[in-house]
Amino acid sequence: MPSVRLVDVVKRFGTITAINRLSMEIPDGEYVCILGPTGSGKTSLLKIVAGLTVPDEGEVYINDRLVVSMPPEERGAVYVPQQYALFPHMTVLENVAFGPLSRGTSEDEALRTAREMLEMMRLGHRADSKPDELSGGMQQRVALARGLATKAKLLLLDEPLGALDARLRVELRHKLRELAKESGITAIHVTHDQAEATAIGDQIVVLRDGRIRQYATPFHVYMRPQSLFVAHFVGGANFFQAMVAERHSDGSILELNQGLLVKVQDNTYLPGEEVVLVIREDRVNVAEPGEQIPSELYNVVQGEVLSSRFLGEFISCQIRLANGDLLTSRTPTSKTDRLLPAGQKVIAHFEPSDTTVYSYPPIGLTRELRVL
């Protein structure tokens, strides 16, 4: 039975609608990441589930019980804000024991549970420290221990790794997921970092302007983004303005700038329609002249390298195609660690199955994709 269910939830702050008729189900035991830019309503969503914010409309169910009027302390859902909110005047041990104590457990019992939790987090030796004496990563573990000590089954994490250095984030995110799985709890993890969401979520909920744009596994969000926004927000992609030239049962032919023809797998749009063609950066193959390439008629384009960048795991290449469009490719360093020089002639090619097509946005492509 689902652990959390929202039905047509609406939340307004003055004239701004933070959550716009949102419905969502999160099954028991899942680690779900809510991904979206700042202002997309992610924190409001979490606070509504926690009971810290009351929605203007809609219903919230936790374990199939309607909880809209239930105060936070009775919901069994622990909220961990970005800065962890450790109580500065209490020791680490007192912090972790706070939950059980507040719920009526005896002091002995509460302290025992607290010590157990701290041992599990390998922080037993810091039980008597004050929160500000601990590093960022340790504070995070204390915050988690404090939440788990209440035996709550629902963990609500608001940008739990946001306060940490980039490298530390990568190291600790897997531990977060491990912890949730080992404790058998349902976790809702809010973040603006798509690499993070992709790395640890069972499911990703992509949020924009208070509405769900896609709810799927990381694989599906990446391979089959449902909208331009999702395609742009999750992982790097190339966007081309195009028009449908032909439509067949197994795909379509699109016409790009200067008449360049591309074959795609999608066939939902009619000839003459304005569309946007999306190809993921790492689905573009770059071959130097003389290299072997598939003998497909379509999707092989001449181009010239504008610049190459070394990104560590990948090499990113900006290519000016023969038809004037700009293409960015991403090649794993394990395949080649050669940086192609500017001016190098190359051949870019890609499979029709690696493309997705969307209708052309009314406000124009540049504005739709604007992030800055």
- Give the shortest CB-89-to-other proteins separation in angstroms: 5
Q: Are 47 and 79 in contact (CB under 8 A)?
A: yes
Q: Are 166 and 135 in contact (CB under 8 A)?
A: no
Binding status of residue 288 toward other proteins by CB under 8 A:
no
Q: Which of residues 171-230 bind other proteins (CB under 8 A)?
A: 171, 192-195, 198-199, 217-223
Which member of 89, 125, 248, 367 binds other proteins (CB under 8 A)? 89
Which member of 31, 79, 239, 358 binds other proteins (CB under 8 A)? 79
Q: Which of 129, 137, 203, 127 is nearest to 176 (CA)?
A: 137
Q: Which of residues 12-41 bind other proteins (CB under 8 A)?
A: 37-38
Which member of 186, 252, 285, 356 binds other proteins (CB under 8 A)? 285
Q: Residue 280 and residue 148: Cα distance in Å, rounded?
A: 39
Q: Which of residues 116-145 bind other proteins (CB under 8 A)?
A: 135-137
Q: Which of residues 292-331 bind other proteins (CB under 8 A)?
A: 309-313, 316, 331
Order of all β-strands in the sheet with 326-332: 285-287, 345-349, 300-310, 314-321, 326-332
Closer Cβ to other proteins, 252 or 328, answer by number: 328
Segment contacting other proteins (CB under 8 A): 107-115, 168-176, 207-215, 253-261?
A: 168-176
Closer Cβ to other proteins, 294 or 332, answer by number: 332
- Give the shortest CB-169-to-other proteins separation in angstroms: 9
Closer Cβ to other proteins, 119 or 165, answer by number: 165
Q: Residue 241 and residue 254: Cα distance in Å, rounded?
A: 10
| Helix spans in the chain (H) | 42-50, 92-102, 107-120, 136-148, 166-183, 194-200, 218-223, 228-233, 365-368
- Give the shortest CB-99-to-other proteins separation in angstroms: 4
Q: Residue 321 and residue 144: Cα distance in Å, rounded?
A: 50
Closer Cβ to other proteins, 102 or 258, answer by number: 102
Closer Cβ to other proteins, 143 or 244, answer by number: 143
Q: Which of 218, 345, 360 is nearest to 277 (CA)?
A: 360
Closer Cβ to other proteins, 261 or 369, answer by number: 369
Q: Which of residues 327-356 bind other proteins (CB under 8 A)?
A: 331-335, 337, 339
- Give the shortest CB-362-to-other proteins separation in angstroms: 22
Strand 77-80 relative to strand 154-158, pairing = parallel
Q: Which of residues 236-275 bind other proteins (CB under 8 A)?
A: none
- Give the shortest CB-240-to-other proteins separation in angstroms: 19
Q: Which of residues 40-69 bind other proteins (CB under 8 A)?
A: 47, 50-52
Segment contacting other proteins (CB under 8 A): 109-117, 125-133, 159-167, 298-306?
A: 159-167
Three-class DSSP category at 271: coil
Q: What share of the chain is helix, strand, coil (3-state, %, to 5)?
A: 30, 35, 35
Q: Are 278 and 264 in contact (CB under 8 A)?
A: no
Binding footprint of other proteins, residue count (CB under 8 A):
72
- Give the shortest CB-334-to-other proteins separation in angstroms: 5
Residue 333 token pair: 């360093």
Q: Residue 321 and residue 304: Cα distance in Å, rounded?
A: 6
